[in-house]
Amino acid sequence: MSFKHYNKLYGEKEMNDKFRGRFAPSPSGEMHLGNAWTALLAWLQVRRGGGRMVLRIEDLDPDRSKPHYVERLLQDLHWLGLDWDEGPDIGGPYAPYCQGARRHMYDRALQVLKNSGLLYPCYCSRGELRQVAQAPHAGENTGRYPATCRRLTLREQELKRREGRKPSLRLVVPEVNVAFDDLCYGTFHQALAREVGDFIVRRADGVHAYQLAVVVDDAAMRISHVLRGADLLDSTPRQLLLYKLLQLPAPVFTHVPLFMGEDGQRLSKRHGDVSLGKLREKGARPETVVGYLAYKAGLLACWEPVTCAELIDDFDLGKIPRGNILVRAEELNLLYAKK
């Protein structure tokens, strides 16, 4: 893989061909067991590979991201026993490590796509998009954008602007089938134009889309391996298309199952005190929490206290379950009781 095109866009950087992974949380709430699960597995993958761990704060959305949550994230990760080699608190060769300070890089990427004729303004409101998705003819592709604004003439675009509509920017998606090999779920295919359609790369309020920012950042930081939740599995083809269009090297992907409550919903505060802050306040030990996460990952035969470092040598992606992870109420109670 070559970074020549990236260096041309963003300036020369010293090359680092080591195994590089990252954990990239959004500071929009307190860190909970589900976040800790992903953070631990990403950390173990990097440490088992002898690589460098990067912590990046994905604070793209100014309305949802709060500075005090960043401090809590750092405290929670340290409490668990996780560390990193580069990050917002210690710096590194690819700083800054907060997306809010990297917007100029995303603008450069947008300019590359614009110069290639791959972007167009979209004036559709959320309400209009919901109506399209609910229309009888929408069929099974209710999540696909029908390229409504791609067909607007310049005059029609001008009329939209006069109405006071601020456009988002969408990427023209070609008729391609994108496939990649996930280290947990195997080969994943997506007919991007048919299943997703043209997708947003910058919102109408000027905020850059996650799909664009994560591609630019992972390439900039020379990330070789990405481990994250399975909820992002079907967004990966969009990112792979952007890697290709921007001539950037893509990382190896691993998507891991999600933590779910007994009601079948993704784990959240509705299921009880699942935040790491609450666990600490109630007297839970970090070794107990790490042991629970490792047990759920198939890395331990039984639930017992263990440190993060003690799990490195026996870490194996093949042991991780492929289905979502059920978190039972009695297990949460035991997190406080086990000493």
| In-domain check, residue 63 | yes
**Residue 240 pLDDT exceeds 80:** yes
167 and 128 in a common domain? yes
**Cβ-based neighbours of 110, under 8 Å, separated by 6 or more:** 119, 169, 201, 202, 208, 212
- Please report, for residues 81, 194, 276, 311, the alpha-carbon distance to residue 76 in angstroms, rounded to integers and kept in the order given: 9, 41, 6, 19
d(CA 197, CA 147): 7
Residue, of 309 and 65, whose pLDDT is higher: 309
pLDDT score, position 12? 43
- As a whole number, the mean pLDDT across the chain is 89
168 and 132 in a common domain? yes
**Residue 53 pLDDT exceeds 90:** yes
pLDDT score, position 132? 57
Residue, of 8 and 40, whose pLDDT is higher: 40
Per-residue pLDDT reduced to its tens digit, 144-179: 899 999 999 999 999 998 888 899 999 999 999 999
Predicted TM-score (pTM) of the model is: 0.90
**Residue 211 pLDDT exceeds 80:** yes
133-141 LR contacts (CB < 8 Å, sep 24+): 141/194, 141/195, 141/197
d(CA 36, CA 289): 9
pLDDT score, position 18? 81
215 and 113 in a common domain? yes
116 and 92 in a common domain? no
**Residue 248 pLDDT exceeds 50:** yes
Domain count, the chain: 2
Residue range 236-241: mean pLDDT, rounded: 98
- Please report, for residues 30, 120, 211, 292, 335, the alpha-carbon distance to residue 109 in angstroms, rounded to integers and kept in the order given: 31, 14, 12, 41, 45
**Residue 267 pLDDT exceeds 70:** yes
pLDDT category of residue 17 using cuts at 50, 70 and 90: low
96 and 119 in a common domain? no
Percent pLDDT > 90 in the chain is 73
CB 83 within 8 A of CB 124: no
Of 220, 248, 266, the residue at which a domain comes to its end is 220
**Residue 134 pLDDT exceeds 80:** no
**Residue 221 pLDDT exceeds 50:** yes
Number of residues written out for the chain: 339
| In-domain check, residue 246 | no
Range of the domain at 202: 103-220
269 and 301 in a common domain? yes
Among 11-15, 134-138, 154-158, 240-244, name the most confident range. 240-244
79 and 115 in a common domain? no
289 and 197 in a common domain? no
170 and 131 in a common domain? yes
Residue, of 305 and 270, whose pLDDT is higher: 305
pLDDT category of residue 268 using cuts at 50, 70 and 90: low
Per-residue pLDDT reduced to its tens digit, 19-30: 999 999 999 889
96 and 31 in a common domain? yes
Residue, of 77 and 2, whose pLDDT is higher: 77
Residue range 65-92: mean pLDDT, rounded: 96
pLDDT score, position 1? 32
> Minimum mean pLDDT among 38-52, 91-105, 121-135: which range?
121-135
pLDDT score, position 317? 95
pLDDT score, position 336? 76
> In terms of C-beta density within 10 A (0-12 exposed, 13-18 middle, 19 or more buried), how is residue 329 classed?
exposed
Query: The domain spanning residue 172 has which CATH number?
Result: 3.90.800.10
pLDDT score, position 273? 64
SS (H, E, C) the chain: CCCHHHHHHHCCCCCCCCCEEEECCCCCCCCEHHHHHHHHHHHHHHHHCCCEEEECECCCCCCCCCHHHHHHHHHHHHHHCCCCCEECCCECCCCCCEHHHCHHHHHHHHHHHHHCCCEEEECCCHHHHHHHHHCHHHCCCCCCECCCHHHCCHHHHHHHHHCCCCCEEEECCCCCEEEEEECCCEEEEEEHHHHCECEEEECCCCCECHHHHHHHHHHHCCCCEEEEEHHHHHHHHHHHHHHHHCCCCCCEEEEECCEECCCCCECCHHHCCCEHHHHHHCCCCHHHHHHHHHHHCCCCCCCCCCCCHHHCCCCCHHHCCCCCEECCHHHHHHHHHCC
Per-residue pLDDT reduced to its tens digit, 191-206: 999 999 999 999 999 9
**Residue 75 pLDDT exceeds 70:** yes
CB 23 within 8 A of CB 57: no
264 and 331 in a common domain? yes
pLDDT category of residue 89 using cuts at 50, 70 and 90: very high
Q: From 190, 208, 192, select the one nearest 102 (Cα to Cα).
A: 208
**Residue 138 pLDDT exceeds 70:** no
Q: From 270, 285, 266, 253, select the one nearest 325 (Cα to Cα).
A: 266
93 and 119 in a common domain? no
| In-domain check, residue 152 | yes
Of 220, 247, 277, the residue at which a domain comes to its end is 220
pLDDT score, position 11? 47
